[in-house]
Amino acid sequence: MGEKLFEKEYKVHYYETDRKQKLKTRSLLNYLEEVSLLQSESLGVGLDFYKNNGVIWVLHKLDIELKRVPFFNETILVQTIPFSVSGFMGFRKFRVLDAHNEELISANSAWLFINSDRRRPQRVSGRVKEAYGHLNSPEEKLDMATVPGSSRTDASAEFSVRHADIDINQHVNNACYAEWALEPLPEELHLQYKLKRMQIDFKKETTYKEDVESLVQIDQNESGFTTLHQITGPESEEKCRIACHWEKPGT
Give the model confidence (pLDDT) of 81-115 as tens digits.
Answer: 999 999 999 999 999 999 999 999 999 999 999 99
Mean pLDDT of the chain: 95
Closest alpha carbon to 191 in 125, 248, 229: 248
pLDDT tens digits along 126-151: 999 999 999 988 888 999 999 999 99
pLDDT (average), residues 237-248: 97
Residue 32 burial (CB count, 10 A): 21
Query: pTM value?
Result: 0.94
Q: What is the pLDDT of residue 250?
A: 73
Class of domain 6-132: alpha beta
Residue 1 reports pLDDT greater than 60: no
Contact 59, 109 (CB under 8 A): yes
Domain boundaries, the chain: 6-132, 155-247
pLDDT tens digits along 35-69: 999 999 999 999 999 999 999 999 999 999 999 99
Residue 251 reports pLDDT greater than 80: no
- Rg of the chain, C-alpha, whole Å: 18
The distance of Cα 31 from the centroid of its chain, to the nearest Å, equals 9
Closest alpha carbon to 73 in 117, 14, 1, 4: 14
Which backbone phi and psi does 202 adopt, to 5 degrees? -85, 130
Q: What is the pLDDT of residue 249?
A: 86
Reported residue count of the chain is 251
Question: E strand or H helix at 177, and its extent?
Answer: helix 174-182
- Cα 13 to Cα 22: distance, rounded to the nearest angstrom: 10
Residue 186 reports pLDDT greater than 50: yes
The reply to whether CATH 3.30.950.10 applies to domain 155-247 is no
Q: How far is CA 49 from CA 131, 132, 163, 167, in A?
A: 12, 14, 25, 17
Please check whether the two domains, 6-132 and 155-247, share a CATH topology: yes
Residue 23 reports pLDDT greater than 70: yes
